[in-house]
Structure 1
Amino acid sequence: MRKLGLIGGMSWVSTRAYYEDINRIVQRQAGPESSAPMLIESLNFRPLYRIGEKAEWDRAADVLIESARRLESAGAEGLVIAANSMHHVYDKVAAAVSIPIIHIADCVAKAMQEKGVDRAALLGSRNVMMQDFYRERLVAQGIEILPPDEEIADRLDAIIYDELMIGKVTRSSERELKTILTNLGKDGAEAVVLGCTELELIVDTDANVLPVFDGAHIHARAAAEFILGEG
């Protein structure tokens, strides 16, 4: 099996989910005694929390580049950035190392194409919903993405940063997400992309009116396939 490097800590909640998902898939594929060869660098999220200005993104790129280089030097054969929003700096990080970095949006687009879905809504933090770095990657793969709703983006941003990233789950937020997904279906979405690694905490992906593509789980599956030599 190939050794994967995982840049995590953004947040620790999602890093835990990635580790569990990747190992469960490897165990199913390679046998019950197997576990995934991985190097994990868990970054301090505080300096990267809720950033938005160019200078802040430049600093974030530097932090992730240093992390990627450390993981490569330690023997990682491929990398995963375990956070949707930090794919904002993907191109800079990918250019700084000689090993592949698996892009979360490419994995999501592939999964949607396999299911014949070509029109979806993207949910996540304000950065993910309102900026182009994630959306354009899906569009380039032939997926039409509904225009972002600024009110929904602001509300989800609050839920993600004030609740989910510190491990807090509330029934009111669960109900609110269910209402949002129902309304998106009425607006013409064929499916919903969860563009935040923590949103799965309050979205039942199997019990909604729309198909839900959980980016973190899809990304983790691609990471496991890489480890197993399938990707």
Structure 2
Amino acid sequence: MQTIGLIGGMSWESSAAYYEGLNKGVQQRLGGLHSAKIVMASVDLAELTDLQDRDAWDEVAAILVAAARSVAAGGADFVLMCTTTFYRVYDEVVAAVDIPVLHLADLLAAKCQQLDIHTVGFLSTAFTIQHDFFAQRISAGGIDVNLPDPVHVETLDSIIYDELVFRTVNPSSRRRLLGIVDELWDGGADGVLLAASELSLLVRPEDVEVPVLDAITVGVEAALDRALA
């Protein structure tokens, strides 16, 4: 079994879901008392979001590069970042370590291809929606990406940062999110990506008729496949 390197804290809620998913997945695949071999570096989300707001991406990169180097030094065979927004500095992280760094957008695009999904609705933070670094990478994988109506972008951001990162699950927010999913489906999407990890707290595949891909689940499955290959 390979050792999985996680860069977490963005938010700690989603990082906990990655950690739980990896350990449950190893136990399901191997049985008995098996658990995942994980090295995690957890960063401070408040510090990163402050730097993001100031457009200080060099400083964001320095923090995540240090985290990647720490998990590599701890024996990780590859790295997965428990975030989507901060893949903005993916190239800097890749250049700083000698072990593979998985890109969640590549994993999501591959999963869409596997499920024969050609057009996906894209739900994430405002920054990730308004800047195309993540959606464009999915598109490069052969998948058309439909963004939500701009009127919904700040709503999504508020749900993520004011509620879900604190594990606050508001029924009215669930209804609003499901309405956005329905709009994307009506607009031609044959699948929806929950490309902010916390959104999986609100929408489950059984809640809607359109296929829903949860970033955490896809990332966990890919990491397990690699670690246990």
Which TM-score band applies after superposition, normalised by the shorter structure? Answer: over 0.9
Structure 1 residues not aligned, in runs of 5+: none
CA spacing shift, 1:203–1:81, aligned 2, 3 Å? same
Contact 1:104 1:216 in 2 (8 A): no
The structure-2 alpha-carbon separation of the partners of 1:85 and 1:118, relative to structure 1 and needing over 3 Å to count, comes to same
Q: Percent identity?
A: 36
Q: Return 31-40 or 50-59, whichever deviates more.
A: 50-59
Q: Is the 8 A contact 1:181 1:209 kept in 2?
A: no
The residue aligned with 1:186 is 186
Q: Compute the TM-score of the two structures, normalised by the length of structure 1.
A: 0.95
3-state SS, counterpart of residue 88 of structure 1: helix
What aligned pairs does 1:31-180 form with structure 2 within 5 A after superposition? 31-49=31-49, 52=52, 55-180=55-180
Name the structure where helix makes up a greater proportion of residues: 2
* Contact 1:84–1:196 (CA under 8 A) maintained in structure 2: yes
Residues 169/7 of structure 1: CA separation in 2 closer, same or farther (3 Å cut): same
* CA RMSD across the alignment: 1.3
Q: Would the aligned equivalents of 2:8 and 2:82 in 1 still touch at CA under 8 Å?
A: yes
Distance between the aligned counterparts of 2:161 and 2:62, measured in 1?
23
Q: Deviations over 1:186-224 (max 9, x none)?
A: 111111101101001010222202110111110011111
SS of 1:112 mapped into structure 2: helix
Q: Which amino acid aligns with 1:124?
A: S
User: Alpha-carbon deviation of 1:43?
Assistant: 1.1
The count of corresponding residues between Structure 1 and Structure 2 is 229
Q: 1:134-165 deviations in whole A, cap 9, x for unaligned?
A: 11111111100114422211110011001001
**4+ residue runs of structure 1 moved beyond 3 angstroms?**
50-55
CA distance in 2, matches of 1:147, 1:15: 25
Q: Verify the 8 A CA contact 1:130 1:150 in the aligned structure 2.
A: no
- Superposition deviation, residue 53 in structure 1: 5.0
Residue equivalent to 1:2 = 2
SS at structure 1 position matched to 2:193: strand
Q: 1:39, 1:76 within 8 Å by CA — same for their partners in 2?
A: yes
5+ residue gaps, structure 2: none
Q: For the Cα contact (< 8 Å) 1:130–1:148, is it kept in 2?
A: no
Match of 2:209 in 1: 209
- Which region of structure 1 is more displaced relative to structure 2, 134-143 or 43-52? 43-52
